[in-house]
Structure 1
């Protein structure tokens, strides 16, 4: 239809691929966050995972519960931010 290669990429390919790209980003962010916390639980000397692990060894349950809540709050906040970005950048994408 007479569009240049750059116009086709900008107006056709990128808008059609962007929902999948953002979904992949959201999934990768969740996997990365859980991997980070798991690594801290196993081999770190600081961080939320280390704090939970050391508190569990000394039976300080309030610190363990609070650490788990902080991890969950951060995960939900990351999810919320990515979903907002998706809603702004790809308003045409279907909602489930």
Structure 2
């Protein structure tokens, strides 16, 4: 029995050999994918021009700094005296 135990320790089983082979294949595929990914990144960076060049950075806040002076007219005040005049109305349309 001791001879069999010694042989098992020095020679890995078929199952262990399969696991080692599978791990080696997986590592090889992983390195190939990483290399291919690096190649495409290098090619893209060198060839492509940045079309959004002026769009980076902190944008200013949009505020209502420009307030046009509008004379709003209430709907109840619209009558014939406002005929042929441009007026501003504010309201909601319900359907």
Same-fold call, TM > 0.5? no
Structure possessing the higher relative contact order (Cα contacts under 8 Å, 6 or more residues apart): 1
Larger Rg: 2
TM-score category (smaller protein): 0.3 to 0.5
TM-score (norm 2): 0.34
